Every structure is written in structure tokens, then in C-alpha cells.
Structure 1
């Protein structure tokens, strides 16, 4: 009975560590991530963020971003942006948290939680195209 419990525990732990294996290198997969928010029954385009290595640029709606900045991602998929992030960090807005999702079943994505000047929070999702 105890050996079954130990075996089950080891299988569970290996599955859990495999789910986070994609975060181990501290980077999102390179590419363009389309960001949008669901507000008042509509999906609103917030622009695209481009990831290349440990650099990001954007978000941009038209054209390209003038400069790239570094970002960091920890082993749990929490992202720290080390530069401005367009409207997410302008006009009194601030970033509360960004969480990546790399589950292998769907396109890589991350959710950005923004705190507005009035104290309300807004969440947007950025999905790799």
C-alpha cells in the first residue's frame, strides 16, 4: 500500500514538474503576441507585443516599436517587464502582474493585470499568433 502511494506521488510530481519545464529557461517562445481585452461585451485590440529572446517590444497597433526592452520570467511563469509597456504603464496605469501560460495544448500566452488610476483592475490576454 505504501509503495503504491509513493509511486503515485512520484508520478504526480514528475507531471507537475513537466508542466513547468517550459518556464525553466526564463523565456517565452519567440514571436508576436496579439493582446486584447474583453470589455462591455466586445474584444478590444490592445496591440501586439513581439518577443525575441529576452527582449520585448510593443505593444503596437500599427507599424513597429521604436525600441526593445528586457524582460524576465521566473520558474513559475511570472513576467517582469523591465521597460515601459505602452498604455499598460501610461496615463496613471500600472502593472499589477503578468502570468505566462505554456501548457503545450494551446498557443503560448500571457495575461497582463493592469491597475487603473481609479484603483480598478483590468486583465488582458496576449496570445502568440
Structure 2
């Protein structure tokens, strides 16, 4: 199923699952795929990365992304656009990363490049 509306099963999974696969596009068109920690908040997916990472460079050139939860039998895929979120970050976002990963993003000087992904399209199949 493909829709602009989030599938009913997705919000609970986005809150519970620890990793999501992020696909970005290299300047030469080749895809770059990597697992990453994330937070689902305010109908957006927030991710953090090193500012000089391949994914950060890719997103600076082309902000289109695809994300997929890890379960290949109960699929949730999101296509969207990424936007840089400059500090200071909201207390709610920092608390969510702390609660989920025991990680204080405002104290991490390496992975302080925060991106907010706005979903544009959802794909889902498998168990309801």
C-alpha cells in the first residue's frame, strides 16, 4: 500500500524500534544506505549524524530520503525530505534521545548534526 497518510501500524513501531535504515543519494547518483538511530516526534523523523559524514554531504546536495524500519516481513517505508535543525534543540527532542538511547545529543560534539525528515509518502505491507 502506498499513501500520503501514515499507516495505522507505523506510529507505535516508530516509537518502539531502535534503528531505521536511511537511504540518501550520492552526487553521482549512487545510493548510500545506512542504519541510524532516530526519534519519531511531531510527525517527523529526527536523526543525528557527523556533519562531515557521507550521509550529511549527500543531504546537503540532495535532501530527498527514503527510510525503512528493519522488519522485512512487516514493512514500513517512508519517503520524504530532510532539513537541518540548528541548535538549540527542543527539550522534548533531547529528552526523547536520552530516554530511547541514553544519549545526550547536546553533549555529543561528533554527532550533533540533526536532521528532521518530513514524510511525503508511506509504503506498508505485511501484518496489520
Does the alignment reach a TM-score above 0.5? no
Q: Which has the higher contact order (CA 8 A, sep 6+)?
A: 2
| Higher-Rg member (1/2) | 1
- TM-score normalised by structure 2 residue count: 0.29
